[in-house]
Amino acid sequence: MRDAGFEVIYTGLHQTPEMIVNTALQEDVDAISLSILSGAHNYIFPEVIRLLKEKGLGDMCVFGGGIIPEEDIQTLKKQGVKELFTPGASTQMIIDWVKQNVHSRAL
């Protein structure tokens, strides 16, 4: 993503939803992307969205990917996740999606 011209703030592994949202607030980000391989997607994505709404940032774009069963993808999208990329999605596909769907919140 950095090579495509995006500013990326990587917070590392094993971040709690609270830590993710606090970093997003401190860094004034335009979007949050989560990569989840642990199977915790049904908790982490909705909790991040809930905390963003609680902090007045309910309009922030949340997307991500990882090993997420197809049957969970539609549920997560209904809960506010904008897009989910599963194994096999190309980096270029993700870059193109971000360019088309993530807009500066500073406007």
What domains, with CATH codes, occur in the chain?
A: 17-101 (3.40.50.280)
Q: What does DSSP say about strands 61-66 and 83-85: parallel, antiparallel, or unpaired?
A: parallel
pTM above 0.85? yes
In whole angstroms, give the CA distance from residue 28 to residue 7: 12
pLDDT digits (tens, 9 = 90+) for 1-56: 999 999 999 999 999 999 999 999 999 999 999 999 899 999 999 999 999 999 99
Tokens found for residue 35: 């990569």
Contact 41, 68 (CB under 8 A): yes
- Residue 56 Ramachandran class (φ > 0 left, ψ -120 to 50 alpha, else beta): left
Please give the angle made by the CA atoms of 20, 25 and 26, to the nearest 5 degrees: 100
